[in-house]
Chains A and B, each alone.
Chain A
Amino acid sequence: MDALLQQLERFSEVLSVSRTNHVSTWGPETVRRALQWARYLRQVYRRFGSHGRIRAALERRLRIHWGPEGPKSGLTSFRALGRGDVLLSLNLLQNRALGDAAGRALLQQLFPGAGTGDADAEALQTRLVRLARRRAALLLLRETDCFRGGSPGLLEDPVLLTQAQLLLGRLQEAGETETGDPSGWLGRLWTRAPRVHFLQVMAVALLQPLEELGPSGPKSLGEEIHVLVRWLLEQSEVLAAFCRLPAGLLTSIAERHPALSRAYLVLLTDWGQKLHYDLQEGAWVSADSQDVPWEELLRRFQSLSQAPPPLKDEVLTLLESCKARDGNFEVAGLSVWTDLLLDLPSSASKLCLGGDKFEVPA
């Protein structure tokens, strides 16, 4: 077992190195050995894929190399073992630093031509060829009008969906180790990736069904999604930016995740309180241009008030209690909450008032 773990680590290094200039020192023999290694590890993957304990041990060892900053190059997970040979091949193929002799040896290993009798090599060739075909398919689909022009709704966008699935996949791998603290690398991702994009991906991820039918039977995404929610709640900066995503999207998320809906409502209250009524303009404005404007606030409350009951009632209760706190005015222009309630569609503002009022933090 130890020997296997060591080989795993060494191969991971080899994989990382294969993208650097260091390969200029590699000769044909090195290339051949590296590919053989990859092939061996792929067999390990196929044999132990269903062995819970062994697989977990291998995952843990690979996780150590993530470091606090998240997955880097090299082998990042057990699943990657199954693709190690393709990863290595592609890295080497793309690497201009690879010498001529080594390059020729590489091509000979990858594309031996038909009828060499080496089943493994032919299998690798088949997978590479299929990769080329799939790549071409993606290019063709991208060109069709269906994806260009006219942005599809965020939830229907397959590109975002794929990224959300990747994100959840990583979270799942992180979760399989001890306490799997993803906040480190999630934080890093937040700083590296384009922000709005990252938030959109997170939103799509949060709306994924909790049980998904994967290739190896149903898997539950509940854990990963909760991890995301927890992280989001801890990061006030991220949360504030997150809550600026389109109103409809946020309403759906709030329906699904009560913890987030509470945080959202708190934020909305804060934003509302920053607005004051400008008599000259006859509208609600805020002192700081960075703040959320009246129109957006209204839009968000409108969307929330059209959600199904538990959420809708919470929202209306909140508005009513804020309005009461402000003095329960019925005339416009005195309390932002009154105006909001006035501007909500009439069917939505019907509310069955229960006993207790929603307590607003002062």
Chain B
Amino acid sequence: MAQNFTNLTSDCQYWLQKLSALDQASTLETQKDTCLHLPQFQEFLRQMYEALKEMDSNTAMERFPTIGQLLAKTCSNPFVLAYDESQKFLIQCLCCLINKEPQNSGDSKLNSWIRGLLSHILSAFRFNIKEFDLFTQGLGYEPVDYCPALLKNMVLSLVSKLRESHLNGFNTRRRMAPERVASLSQVCIPLVTLPDFEPLVEALLIYHGHEPQEVLCPAFFKAVNEAFLLKKISLPTSAVVSLWLRHLPSLEKAVLHLFTKLISSERNCLRRIECFIKDSLLPQAACHPAIFRVVDEMFRFALMETDGALEVLAAVQVFTRCFVEALEKENKQLKFALKTYFPHISPSLTAVLLQHPRDTPQGCHHQLLQHVSLMLRKAVEDQACGSCRDPFESWFLFIHFGGWADLAAEHLLRSAVEAPAAAEAPVAALLWLLAFYYRPLDSHQQRAQTMVEMEAVLSRLRFLTLSRSSPISAEELRAAAGEDSHEDPMQPVCGRLIRHLLLNFLLWVPAGHAAAHDTITLMACTDEISHEITGFLDQTLYRWDHLCTEAPRPAKLARELLQELRARV
């Protein structure tokens, strides 16, 4: 506790000097400096209040001899008073200094001085235009009566000045000089969280001057972005998009903020993830290719850093869904070509992947999947086409639209079990798709090997369903999936694939329903696998919802299994 005070005492000295220096001149530089220090100073005031409220006036004056001077200086600094909650902490500090049992005239003088300061902060606003003061007094009004109205009118006047300046390209007389706009944005920095200022903040964000370089100061963008991320200001989407287009660090901060929220929120609930993502306004903003590329880049980075973590994959997929939705909603004339969003991929491939399976009847899904597989395979294996350098790019694009892989797995399994007599060739395409999804960096041979293994699992599973008298047991299923063999060092990712197939089996094949709970219990031997299965179930339900897939029994089973798994955690 004592150590805390020594810090505060030295801080006190520091801030006193700082404020004195800032007082000397009120140029743009000192204003910038003041704005930079506002958050720290508020934190200092808050800590000061916490300390002061524990002691009485005399002790306070002894411990912090310069506190009175410092607080007095603060009272005449409008930037500090305008910022966030600084005025509240200042007032509270002053109240703490009041001597509750004045012994002598010195004490009373102190009290009276403090009251004067408080009065100054709260009410000493004379507009310093004598006519104004006389007139309002003549009408019987006090500053508290007209302050809000005056503020509103001044803000609106500035907003319309900005708008006029924006529209009058060649009429230089009506244009606001860039220095004025800059100083206006400077002055707004402490005030972005004041609701009265929202129209002005919006107008500044949308304002485009006639100079090639940015007119507004970066600290302004930063302040608005912070306020927006903490939900202390509400802005229309167009203003936020403008902010991010003009100030890249703000966009990056917004994406990081989203990542933090996604990490710390409940995992494996895609519905909630979708809410967070839509809330962040990033999908809507990403309709601008420039913003999309930055966000996509950050997702790519996260994916690589986490070695393809399932959560990141899921986030990318949900984000892409929301983005495509937003893109469709935008009725803007300028529709950017696909190449601007995905420059490294051939537009035909992108177009194919962007199709929504919902738009085609279920019977035709198989052909669609084949088409996707073919195009993707062509892009990956055809080195001569030169449109993509390495399979990673194709894979990265593919995982944006993860629904295809899930759909492929479903189809594979159902056709293998329900219609075994179907031709082999179509199945090969789906096998390739899945193998590529889970192991993009495999060589041609390795992938072929994986496909063979998958086929083996499928035929074993098929065998299990043929002419059975007794229900299938969990152990049998596990054996069929080949989970017992632990020799293969490549097991981990292949395991995911196999589990994916097995889970589909459990959901879609009636004979598998009975053993579902037990099988899951057996499979979920580690926390990681348990999470993976939960994720799969959640994702499947989410996907069925959006595709309007009619599958009442599987859905019911999936929900039960999900509940059980979640309860276990």
Binding site for B on A (CB under 8 A): 70-73, 76, 80, 83, 86-87, 90, 93-94, 96, 98, 100, 103-104, 107, 111, 113, 125, 128-129, 131-147, 152, 156-159, 161-163, 165-167, 170, 188-189, 192-194, 197-198, 201
CB distance from B125 to the nearest CB of A (A): 5
Question: In the complex, which of the residues B111, B148, B187 contacts A100, with contact meaning CB atoms closer than 8 Å?
Answer: B111
Q: Determine the chain A residues whose CB is within 8 A of the CB of B82 once the complex forms.
A: 133, 136-137, 139-140
Q: Determine the chain B residues whose CB is within 8 A of the CB of A71 once the complex forms.
A: 139-140
- Output the residue of A70, A72, A136, A189 with the most chain B CB within 10 A: A136
Establish whether residues B147 and A131, one from each chain, have CB atoms under 8 Å apart when the complex forms.
yes
B residues 119-142 in Cβ contact with A at 8 Å: 119, 121-123, 125, 127, 129-132, 134-136, 138-142
B98 contacts partner chain A, Cβ-Cβ < 8 Å: yes
Nearest to B193 among chain A residues (CB) is A133
Establish whether residues B179 and A137, one from each chain, have CB atoms under 8 Å apart when the complex forms.
no
10 interchain residue pairs of minimum CB distance: A71-B140, A136-B81, A158-B153, A197-B131, A136-B82, A158-B157, A139-B78, A132-B87, A93-B119, A158-B154
Nearest to A135 among chain B residues (CB) is B125
A135 to B90, CA, bound (A): 15
B303 contacts partner chain A, Cβ-Cβ < 8 Å: no
B555 contacts partner chain A, Cβ-Cβ < 8 Å: no
CB distance from A112 to the nearest CB of B (A): 9
B339 contacts partner chain A, Cβ-Cβ < 8 Å: no
Nearest to A112 among chain B residues (CB) is B95
A335 to B87, CA, bound (A): 68
A86 to B147, CA, bound (A): 13
Q: Determine the chain B residues whose CB is within 8 A of the CB of A158 once the complex forms.
A: 150, 153-154, 156-157
Establish whether residues A201 and B135, one from each chain, have CB atoms under 8 Å apart when the complex forms.
yes
19 chain-A/chain-B pairs, Cβ below 8 angstroms? A90-B119, A90-B144, A93-B122, A94-B119, A113-B95, A129-B87, A129-B88, A131-B122, A132-B87, A138-B151, A139-B125, A140-B79, A141-B155, A145-B177, A156-B157, A156-B161, A158-B157, A163-B135, A166-B149
Nearest to A101 among chain B residues (CB) is B102
Question: In the complex, which of the residues B138, B144, B197 contacts A83, with contact meaning CB atoms closer than 8 Å?
Answer: B144
B73 contacts partner chain A, Cβ-Cβ < 8 Å: no
Establish whether residues B157 and A132, one from each chain, have CB atoms under 8 Å apart when the complex forms.
no
Establish whether residues A111 and B140, one from each chain, have CB atoms under 8 Å apart when the complex forms.
no
A18 to B187, CA, bound (A): 36
CB-CB under 8 A for A100 and B112, given A83-B145, A165-B149, A167-B139: yes
Q: Determine the chain A residues whose CB is within 8 A of the CB of B524 once the complex forms.
A: none
- Output the residue of A100, A111, A146 with the most chain B CB within 10 A: A146
Establish whether residues A198 and B135, one from each chain, have CB atoms under 8 Å apart when the complex forms.
yes
Q: Determine the chain A residues whose CB is within 8 A of the CB of B78 once the complex forms.
A: 136, 139-140, 143
Nearest to B85 among chain A residues (CB) is A129
A337 to B89, CA, bound (A): 70
A133 to B148, CA, bound (A): 11
A130 to B132, CA, bound (A): 23
Binding site for A on B (CB under 8 A): 26, 53, 78-79, 81-82, 85, 87-88, 91-92, 95, 98, 100, 102, 108, 111-112, 115-116, 118-119, 121-123, 125, 127, 129-132, 134-136, 138-151, 153-158, 160-161, 176-177, 179-180, 183-184, 187, 190-191, 194, 196-197
A146 to B186, CA, bound (A): 13
A145 to B31, CA, bound (A): 14
Q: Determine the chain B residues whose CB is within 8 A of the CB of A156 once the complex forms.
A: 157, 160-161
Establish whether residues B130 and A103, one from each chain, have CB atoms under 8 Å apart when the complex forms.
no
Q: Determine the chain B residues whose CB is within 8 A of the CB of A107 once the complex forms.
A: 95, 98, 115, 118
Establish whether residues A135 and B150, one from each chain, have CB atoms under 8 Å apart when the complex forms.
no
CB distance from B57 to the nearest CB of A (A): 11
Question: In the complex, which of the residues A87, A157, A197 contacts B135, with contact meaning CB atoms closer than 8 Å?
Answer: A197
Q: Determine the chain B residues whose CB is within 8 A of the CB of A152 once the complex forms.
A: 157
User: Chain A contact residues: over half helix, strand or loop, or mixed?
Assistant: helix
A124 to B447, CA, bound (A): 71
Question: In the complex, which of the residues A73, A87, A163, A167 contacts B132, with contact meaning CB atoms closer than 8 Å?
Answer: A163
A161 to B158, CA, bound (A): 13
- Output the residue of A87, A141, A165, A170 with the most chain B CB within 10 A: A141
Q: Determine the chain B residues whose CB is within 8 A of the CB of A111 once the complex forms.
A: 91-92, 95
Nearest to A93 among chain B residues (CB) is B119
Q: Determine the chain B residues whose CB is within 8 A of the CB of A128 once the complex forms.
A: 91, 122
Q: Determine the chain B residues whose CB is within 8 A of the CB of A144 once the complex forms.
A: 180, 183-184, 187
Nearest to A73 among chain B residues (CB) is B140
Nearest to A71 among chain B residues (CB) is B140
Establish whether residues A140 and B87, one from each chain, have CB atoms under 8 Å apart when the complex forms.
no
Q: A93-B119, A165-B153 are in contact. List 16 more A-B contacts (CB 8 A).
A: A83-B144, A93-B122, A103-B112, A104-B100, A135-B122, A135-B147, A136-B78, A136-B87, A137-B151, A138-B154, A140-B78, A144-B184, A146-B176, A166-B141, A188-B138, A193-B135
Q: Determine the chain A residues whose CB is within 8 A of the CB of B136 once the complex forms.
A: 163, 166
Establish whether residues B144 and A145, one from each chain, have CB atoms under 8 Å apart when the complex forms.
no
Question: In the complex, which of the residues B123, B140, B184 contacts A76, with contact meaning CB atoms closer than 8 Å?
Answer: B140
Q: Determine the chain B residues whose CB is within 8 A of the CB of A170 once the complex forms.
A: 139-140
Establish whether residues B191 and A86, one from each chain, have CB atoms under 8 Å apart when the complex forms.
no
Establish whether residues B146 and A129, one from each chain, have CB atoms under 8 Å apart when the complex forms.
no
Nearest to B161 among chain A residues (CB) is A146
Establish whether residues B119 and A133, one from each chain, have CB atoms under 8 Å apart when the complex forms.
no
A152 to B161, CA, bound (A): 10
Nearest to B134 among chain A residues (CB) is A193
Q: Determine the chain B residues whose CB is within 8 A of the CB of A87 once the complex forms.
A: 142, 144
CB-CB under 8 A for A93 and B87, given A87-B144, A133-B194, A134-B196: no
Nearest to A152 among chain B residues (CB) is B157
CB-CB under 8 A for A146 and B158, given A132-B121, A159-B129, A159-B132: yes
Q: Determine the chain B residues whose CB is within 8 A of the CB of A98 once the complex forms.
A: 115
Q: Determine the chain B residues whose CB is within 8 A of the CB of A96 once the complex forms.
A: 112, 116
Establish whether residues B111 and A146, one from each chain, have CB atoms under 8 Å apart when the complex forms.
no
Establish whether residues A137 and B194, one from each chain, have CB atoms under 8 Å apart when the complex forms.
yes
CB-CB under 8 A for A132 and B150, given A87-B142, A144-B184: no
CB distance from A287 to the nearest CB of B (A): 33
Establish whether residues A93 and B123, one from each chain, have CB atoms under 8 Å apart when the complex forms.
yes
CB distance from B38 to the nearest CB of A (A): 12
A292 to B107, CA, bound (A): 64
A139 to B119, CA, bound (A): 16
A204 to B369, CA, bound (A): 70
Q: Determine the chain B residues whose CB is within 8 A of the CB of A136 once the complex forms.
A: 78-79, 81-82, 87
CB distance from B69 to the nearest CB of A (A): 20
Establish whether residues B150 and A138, one from each chain, have CB atoms under 8 Å apart when the complex forms.
yes
Establish whether residues A104 and B111, one from each chain, have CB atoms under 8 Å apart when the complex forms.
yes
Establish whether residues A162 and B134, one from each chain, have CB atoms under 8 Å apart when the complex forms.
no
Establish whether residues A145 and B108, one from each chain, have CB atoms under 8 Å apart when the complex forms.
no
A221 to B28, CA, bound (A): 43
CB distance from B350 to the nearest CB of A (A): 48
A136 to B123, CA, bound (A): 10
CB distance from A49 to the nearest CB of B (A): 17
Q: Determine the chain A residues whose CB is within 8 A of the CB of B130 once the complex forms.
A: 194
Q: Determine the chain B residues whose CB is within 8 A of the CB of A159 once the complex forms.
A: 127, 129, 132, 150, 153-154
A104 to B115, CA, bound (A): 9
Question: In the complex, which of the residues B91, B141, B143, B151 contacts A129, with contact meaning CB atoms closer than 8 Å?
Answer: B91
Q: Determine the chain A residues whose CB is within 8 A of the CB of B81 once the complex forms.
A: 132-133, 135-136
Establish whether residues B122 and A132, one from each chain, have CB atoms under 8 Å apart when the complex forms.
yes
Q: Determine the chain B residues whose CB is within 8 A of the CB of A76 once the complex forms.
A: 140
- Output the residue of A98, A133, A192 with the most chain B CB within 10 A: A133
Establish whether residues A93 and B157, one from each chain, have CB atoms under 8 Å apart when the complex forms.
no
CB distance from A108 to the nearest CB of B (A): 8
Nearest to B101 among chain A residues (CB) is A104
CB distance from B54 to the nearest CB of A (A): 12
A166 to B145, CA, bound (A): 9
Establish whether residues A141 and B132, one from each chain, have CB atoms under 8 Å apart when the complex forms.
no
A145 to B187, CA, bound (A): 11
